[in-house]
Amino acid sequence: LTSFRRRTMAAMAEPGRGLAFRPCIDLHDGKVKQIVGSTLSTGAAAEAGVVENFVSGDPPAYFAELYRKDGLRGGHVIMLGKGNEAAALAALSAWPGGLQVGGGVTPSNAMKYIDAGASHVIVTSFVFRDGKISFENLDALVAAVGKDRLVLDLSCRRKPPKDGEAVDEAFYVVTDRWQKFTDFAVTPENLAVLANYCSEFLVHGVDVEGMQCGILEDLVGLLGQHSPIPVTYAGGARSMEDVELVNALGAGKVDLTIGSALDIFGGDLSYAQVVEYHRRNHPSAAAVEEQATPRSDARTSREVLPVTAESLGVQWASTPAPKTPVLGFYSHTKGEYTAFSNFYEHSPIDFTIPDCCRTAAFVASGRSPMVSGITYAEKSIMLCKAAVMGDMATFDAILASREPRKTKALGRQVTPFNQDTWDKVVCTVAREAVTQKFRAHSSIKRVLLNTAPAILAEATRNDRVWGIGIDVGKSQVQDPTQWRGTNILGWALMEARAILAKEEEAA
């Protein structure tokens, strides 16, 4: 390395600065594999030419759970061809909100992956069609999921020179398993244009992907200097020296994915060493496992450490099966615990939007933080979502809505939507919505208080964020370590139960 690079690396080695490690789960034929990217192809002979570096005997969920335990957010699950959807959904269910997913994503199926737990969807081929970029298709994707949930995959290669022509040094986006060149070059100008449509870029250096032959230094430098939004580079990293080189050439702004070189994928580079490097740059990542302190006890100060869906997932993973049976519930129309549902309709209450959602845009709008006429908790939650994002038009539409499902659909239209912002406040919002609902209705408050000391769990396979991702009646409901979701609603109900019990004691 040159002395310049050494000085730059030393400067970037300070804690809290520098690249983040973005792990991967590459799926081929339903299995976790590491493949030489340039050998992927389409057509009848496609499979014969694929060079596999590694085929895992562990399921996708194993790797998702590993990344969750180590606090590695923003990794990607890539479906390489057909037959991988079930495997991808299994990975997403193992860590709701922690992984992105790509491979065959379109406007018609994108929300399915978001609802299954993906933080973002990753798209290439739908946007780059017939060798050109389709802004019409790009607009359709943004309309379907929002800019803040969209990652554009700009995986690229240099075009091979033709006889008698000068070498073209530009990198061009490739599609169709990285075999078809587009006319879209990765340039500063094009990066600036596309940044208006998405929240991140993912860039595979295809010519070195899976080959452990070193990174594409000029590509990393281009991304670090000119990408106006977060960007992750993948391709060729084989050592800690390569990790540090990406950090230096990318000016600490380019994150890194490593695949075949890692020991968890059969390589020689220590996964633990890379995670430790990541934690030195991002100390908060190391604190994920420390957030496992249960929060349903009224004696616990909630101000010490904000609760997030991520920290709840870690909490449940470390909670042994309790002596008192877990109370699993689901449905707003049937059973003893219909009132626990956010769709449950009750007599009107006044709901106060919590301080964390009163953004400058909300305050400037002149709207009161106390909203009257709330008849179901879903409306309270979606109002908070619109308020914290500053979308007052959707706020008013939600306020006018009279049906829970329509209200939820309106909440998905909040623009601009920032997942990180919502992640920071969603648990507080859930606790406030639930507590205020039960405080205002003595009959259902008594139902909630009578559940103590049971752990409460919204038990449905259809919800891995607000619920546990497992249906009522399944044996796994009784063992929180086997839950597939973060159970925000169950946690919020237990928080409300503790708060209301303490209020009764003080009365």
Report, as an integer, the average pLDDT of 411-433.
93
On the question of pLDDT at 95 being above 80, the answer is yes
Q: How confident is the model at residue 12 (pLDDT cuts 50, 70, 90)?
A: very low
Mean pLDDT of the chain: 86
Whether the ω angle into residue 416 lies within 30 degrees of 0, i.e. cis, is yes
Render pLDDT for 336-392 as a digit per residue (tens, 0 to 9): 999 999 999 999 999 999 999 999 889 899 999 999 999 999 999 999 999 999 999
In this prediction, residue 207 carries a pLDDT of 84
In this prediction, residue 210 carries a pLDDT of 60
On the question of pLDDT at 134 being above 90, the answer is yes
On the question of pLDDT at 408 being above 60, the answer is yes
Render pLDDT for 105-124 as a digit per residue (tens, 0 to 9): 999 999 999 988 899 999 98
Please compute, for residue 140, the number of CA atoms within 13 A of its CA located in the half-sphere on the CB side: 13
Report, as an integer, the average pLDDT of 215-235.
94
On the question of pLDDT at 52 being above 50, the answer is yes
Report, as an integer, the average pLDDT of 261-287.
84
* H, E, C per residue of 112-149: HHHHCCCCEEEECCCCEECCEECHHHHHHHHHHHCHHH
In this prediction, residue 169 carries a pLDDT of 86
Report, as an integer, the average pLDDT of 30-41.
71
Q: How confident is the model at residue 221 (pLDDT cuts 50, 70, 90)?
A: very high
Q: How confident is the model at residue 22 (pLDDT cuts 50, 70, 90)?
A: very high
- Give the contacts of 350 (CB within 8 A, at least 6 positions apart): 370, 371, 372, 374
The per-type count for the chain, helices as H runs and strands as E runs, is: 18, 19
In this prediction, residue 86 carries a pLDDT of 93
In this prediction, residue 320 carries a pLDDT of 81
In this prediction, residue 449 carries a pLDDT of 97
Q: How confident is the model at residue 189 (pLDDT cuts 50, 70, 90)?
A: very high
In this prediction, residue 239 carries a pLDDT of 94
Q: Which residue has the tokens 């939007």?
A: 353
- The residue ranking higher by pLDDT, 297 or 444, is 444
Q: How confident is the model at residue 213 (pLDDT cuts 50, 70, 90)?
A: confident
- Note whether 492 and 340 are within 8 A (CB): no
Q: What tokens appear for 313 in the block?
A: 């997932």
In this prediction, residue 313 carries a pLDDT of 84
In this prediction, residue 36 carries a pLDDT of 61
- Integer Cα distance of 444 and 344 in angstroms: 11
On the question of pLDDT at 400 being above 90, the answer is yes
Q: What share of the chain is helix, strand, coil (3-state, %, to 5)?
A: 40, 15, 40
In this prediction, residue 18 carries a pLDDT of 83
In this prediction, residue 44 carries a pLDDT of 43
- Note whether 201 and 227 are within 8 A (CB): yes
- Integer Cα distance of 186 and 194 in angstroms: 10
- Give the contacts of 328 (CB within 8 A, at least 6 positions apart): 457, 458, 459, 468, 470, 472, 473, 477
Compute CA 268 distance to the chain's CA centroid, rounded to the nearest angstrom: 29
- Integer Cα distance of 420 and 42 in angstroms: 37
Q: How confident is the model at residue 15 (pLDDT cuts 50, 70, 90)?
A: very low
> Taking the chain, what is the end-to-end CA distance rounded to the nearest angstrom?
70
Percent of the chain with pLDDT over 90: 65
Q: Of 136-150, 197-211, 294-308, give the range with the top mean pLDDT.
A: 136-150
Report, as an integer, the average pLDDT of 4-27.
63
On the question of pLDDT at 226 being above 50, the answer is yes
- Integer Cα distance of 470 and 476 in angstroms: 7
User: For strand 31-35 and strand 52-55, is the pairing parallel, antiparallel, or unpaired?
Assistant: antiparallel
Report, as an integer, the average pLDDT of 24-36.
88
Q: How confident is the model at residue 17 (pLDDT cuts 50, 70, 90)?
A: low
On the question of pLDDT at 82 being above 60, the answer is yes
Q: How confident is the model at residue 211 (pLDDT cuts 50, 70, 90)?
A: low
The torsion defined by the Cα of 214, 253, 142 and 196, in degrees rounded to 10, comes to -120
Beta-carbon neighbour count of residue 96 at 10 Å?
28
On the question of pLDDT at 126 being above 60, the answer is yes
Report, as an integer, the average pLDDT of 288-300.
35
On the question of pLDDT at 289 being above 60, the answer is no
Render pLDDT for 296-352 as a digit per residue (tens, 0 to 9): 333 333 333 468 888 888 889 888 888 889 999 999 998 899 999 999 999 999 999
